[in-house]
Amino acid sequence: MGQPLGKFAELSGKVAVITGAGRKDGLGEAMARRLAIEGVKVVLTDIGQPSGENLPQSAIGTTEEMEQIAMEIRATGGEVATFTCNVLEPQDVQSAAEFALGHFGGLDIWINNAGIGYLMEPVVDMAVDKWDAVLGVNLRGAFLGTKYAAEIMQRQGRGGRIINIGSQASKSGFPHAAAYTASKHGLIGLTRSAAIELGPDKITVNTICPNHVTTGLGAWQNAHFSDVTGKGHERYMEDMRARIPLGRPGLQEDIAKACAFLCSDEAAYITGEAMNVSGGEEYH
């Protein structure tokens, strides 16, 4: 039985790479599932193994978990492959792009989703190596993905889509999140400059800026900030819902829908944008 048709028929047969797509219930998984419904051939990438000490389990996209996601997508008729990739390593990122080209015959969509969102400390307490780790994965990784994806898209000569996964922290500051906020603000600068450079090649570059989404990592963040603020989990979540006009945090599917739209022909004249998907919480 084939994959059910999605909303954007023109996406059928396109090829996408998604970084940081090896965690169950993560944004990468949700985007992969949605694009597969649209008929996109998807390459999931993640680091495949722990890369540091004392990481929350929700921060690690293991090879086994990535393969499980791929197997589930295949079971519904989707075409998907996996590739282990550390976005800090230029050779890994370039190899992921070339893998998509060799395995599926092209590269049309690149989604810079890999990120660190668990190193949260006051700026005066933030160790330099932790700052470098956040800026490295969140910003250097997106630069490398943009660079190597764009090179292939330019060679192909048929345009393409590069989508960066930013955050509400791409627009606003938050306590205990200076490194994260700096990296996500920087992502908008990368998006805008790359959009200008790549526009003549019909390659659009956009950023999606979610508010809080309770992924596995999001649940860790909820617990961390409930403790830091002294509010407790119930009060912390209650306050979060109260400041969102639509009355709830984001869902993985909200981001996946925005991603599918930006990949589609409906968004062909949209580039250099940082699109809020925040239930009205962030509006600039």
The catalytic residues are 180, 184
The runs of H, that is alpha helices, within 118-276 are 128-135, 141-156, 178-198, 216-229, 233-242, 252-263
Is the alpha carbon torsion for 13, 42, 265, 193 positive or negative? negative
Using CA atoms, how far residue 146 sits from 55, 94, 160, 196, in Å, is: 27, 10, 11, 13
Give the span between the Cα atoms of 109 and 119, in whole angstroms: 29
Got the DSSP string for 109-156?
EEEE--------B-TTT--HHHHHHHHIIIIIHHHHHHHHHHHHHHHH
Helix, strand, or coil (residue 274): strand
